[in-house]
Amino acid sequence: MTIKKGQGAMEYLMTYSWAILVVMIVGIAMWQLGIFSMGGITPTTSTGFNKIKPLLALAKMGTDGSFDASFINGAGTTITVGGVTLNNTAVPGCYSATPDSPGLPKVIASGDNIRIQLNADAACAQSKGAVYTMEIIISYNQTAAGATITRSDSGTLRGPYEEV
């Protein structure tokens, strides 16, 4: 006579595992569809940006198409920012430009900030709450151990248009 204790436990685990898996898939699908969004408020988020990090609380896209954001030098050494390229991919016909920055090149010590601004552009104007997606490339020189290396840091800022 053989006792099959393991078979009952295995059937129990398989049944409940499948049920948990189905609930997880349904939950993830609902989350991706935005069912759990809190009143339609879009937070300002960023992706990319390895060494030069955006300060999300200071990033703003105005309803008139103006853009203003601050970034912190996290490279660990002093850098010299030589150029900035911006592209708002969320609005067709919106600028893809390098801002007028008479202060460039600009030397930024480790831990200091740089502010990037673009003037209002009617092609980029949107209503309050619409979402922008700004692709940003920051070119800079970094000097360490007597050698100067040219680098660039890029990423995307995404957030709501705000009243100016």
| CA–CA separation, 33 and 49 (whole Å) | 27
Q: Which pTM does this prediction carry?
A: 0.70
Whole-number mean pLDDT of the chain? 85
pLDDT at 10: 84
Residue 84, judged by CB atoms within 10 A of its CB (0-12, 13-18, 19+), counts as buried
Per cent of the chain over pLDDT 90 is 32
Nearest to 108 by CA among 76, 86, 150, 132: 76
Domain 45-162 has CATH 2.60.40: yes
pLDDT digits (tens, 9 = 90+) for 56-71: 999 999 998 888 999 9
Q: Can you give the residue ranges of every domain in the chain?
A: 1-36, 45-162
Residue 135 has pLDDT above 70, yes or no: yes
| CA–CA separation, 159 and 164 (whole Å) | 15
pLDDT band at 105 (very low <50, low <70, confident <90, very high): confident
